Amino acid sequence: EDQVTQSPEALRLQEGESSSLNCSYTVSGLRGLFWYRQDPGKGPEFLFTLYSAGEEKEKERLKATLTKKESFLHITAPKPEDSATYLCAVTRGSQGNLIFGKGTKLSVKP
């Protein structure tokens, strides 16, 4: 069965304290791995797509990496405005839909 597991469930950081979020997956025929950010009361907002092991993408303080079994979202020198829930999702084969993990809730304190 296809599965996406995110850890930790919640993470509290001080402003400027770098860390990483993990997304491990078991899926046959991975087509793409996606990272989304979700703020309270809002829909998920697209951040990155990764397609193959070794690929990396960056956006401001965020960098996403992908291996054959997991992806990391690295947050460098976070700010309070980075506080949100970060969701990981995969698509496989010919299926167009996303299979989501349950997310990591990040809180960054000033």
Partner 1 sequence: DAGVIQSPRHEVTEMGQEVTLRCKPISGHNSLFWYRQTMMRGLELLIYFNNNVPIDDSGMPEDRFSAKMPNASFSTLKIQPSEPRDSAVYFCASSLAGVGGNTIYFGEGSWLTVV
What residues are paired with 92 via a beta bridge?
30
Does residue 40 bind partner 1 (CB under 8 A)?
A: no
What 3-state class would DSSP assign to 81? helix
Does residue 102 bind partner 1 (CB under 8 A)?
A: yes
Residues near 15 by beta carbon (within 8 Å), at least 6 away in sequence: 77, 78, 79, 80, 108, 109, 110
Q: Among 16-24, 27-35, 59-67, 73-81, which window interacts with partner 1 (CB under 8 A)? A: 27-35
Give the shortest CB-65-to-partner 1 separation in angstroms.
16
Tokens 């965020």 sit on residue = 62
Tokens of 68: 């054959």
Binding test (CB under 8 A) with partner 1, winner from 18, 67, 95, 107? 95
Which DSSP state fits 82?
G
Binding test (CB under 8 A) with partner 1, winner from 8, 15, 20, 51? 51
Does residue 44 bind partner 1 (CB under 8 A)?
A: yes
Interacting residues toward partner 1 by CB under 8 A: 31-32, 34, 36, 41-46, 49, 51, 87, 89, 91, 95-103
